[in-house]
Amino acid sequence: MDFAGTRSSIAGNYCQFSSGAGGHRRKRIRVRPLLTVAVGVFLCAILASCGGGFFTHPTLSSTFIDPASASIATGKTAQLTVTGKYSDGSQQGVGGDSVTWSSSDDTIATVTSPGGLVTGVSPGTAVITSTTTAIVPGTGCVVTVSVANGSPTLSKTCSSSSTETLTSTVNVNVTASSVHRAVISTTQGSPVSQSTVTISGAAASLQFYAYGNGDASIDLTQAVTWTSSNDKVATISSGPSGGLATSVAAGTTNITATTTDSAGHQVTSQTIALTVQ
């Protein structure tokens, strides 16, 4: 189109004007389509009312108790804490009213809730359980844009948050006196230190035992955390079936047991070299 010797042409998102007098002055002006601007405004508004829409936050995937095992004397205490693992791989302490605690046997050990402070009552083993309530955010909003007769129409569908309960357990062994030394062996009732043991074939099993202070009456077998240095040779369980080693393949692995005393110090047993033939 022409106005007083001036020509304008629209190509894409730009508008170009030419002067009829000189024919050489040209000016390019960017044109923002009204439809794009309108959609952007409505989209921002609808996402703001949806709490972010496209942005998600890490969710709590699992929890674990620290320390993983504890041995305390009667009348002594041990502080337990909960750590959460999140969907983005990060870890963070979880506490306050979101965590409740319970003991399987209050005659052996009690635990404050909230708080996680365990007190030894009488010799034995109690299972301490933490229950964490987590709020799982919704996945956000799905926004649909439709255009009719040049006018945008936006609609949204949003998912709401939900509540998830996660539990973790730890064994607490209560002894008559504080444990400052742990000894492991493959002979039940024997607190004599052992350094080597051999089993034959894959999928064979062997029971290990743990005792405190060289005293056979202080049985820590279910209260310690058992570790195999090479799970490809043999694995070993912790908890109610603690100390049960299972061979996987020929080789040698080191077996140890670890617990935490009343002062919060780690107590680690001697190492037994387990050879699978």
pLDDT digits (tens, 9 = 90+) for 161-195: 667 789 999 999 998 888 999 999 999 999 999 99
**Pick from 160, 176, 192: which residue ends a domain?**
176
Residue with tokens 């309530």: 133
CA distance linking residue 254 with residue 233, whole number of Å: 10
Residues 153 and 169 in one domain: yes
Q: Give the pLDDT band of residue 245 (cuts 50, 70, 90).
A: very high
Highest mean pLDDT among 88-97, 134-143, 147-156: 88-97
Residues 73 and 172 in one domain: yes
Instruction: Please give the tally of structural domains in the chain.
Output: 3
Residues 77 and 163 in one domain: yes
- Give the range among 142-156, 172-186, 211-225 with minimum mean pLDDT: 142-156
**Pick from 159, 176, 193: which residue ends a domain?**
176
- Per-residue model confidence as pLDDT tens digits over 68-118: 989 999 999 999 999 999 888 889 888 777 899 999 999 999 999 999 999
Residues 164 and 68 in one domain: yes
Q: Which CATH number fits the domain that encloses residue 101?
A: 2.60.40.1080
Residues 91 and 190 in one domain: no
Residues 202 and 151 in one domain: no
CA distance linking residue 188 with residue 191, whole number of Å: 8
Residues 43 and 157 in one domain: yes
Helix (H) or strand (E) holding 276: strand 272-276
Residues 145 and 117 in one domain: yes
Helices (H) and strands (E) counted in the chain, each on its own, are: 1, 27
CA distance linking residue 67 with residue 167, whole number of Å: 15
- What pLDDT is recorded for position 240? 85
Residues 241 and 210 in one domain: yes
Domain hosting 86: range is 33-176
- What's the length of the chain? 277
CA distance linking residue 5 with residue 19, whole number of Å: 6
Is 48 or 119 the better-scoring residue by pLDDT? 119
Residues 38 and 132 in one domain: yes
**By three-state DSSP, how is residue 35 classified?**
helix
Residues 172 and 42 in one domain: yes
**By three-state DSSP, how is residue 268 classified?**
strand
- What pLDDT is recorded for position 60? 82
Residues 202 and 192 in one domain: yes
CA distance linking residue 238 with residue 69, whole number of Å: 9
| Phi-psi region at 96: left, alpha or beta (left = phi > 0; alpha = psi -120 to 50) | left
The pTM assigned to this predicted structure is 0.62
**Pick from 176, 196, 220: which residue ends a domain?**
176
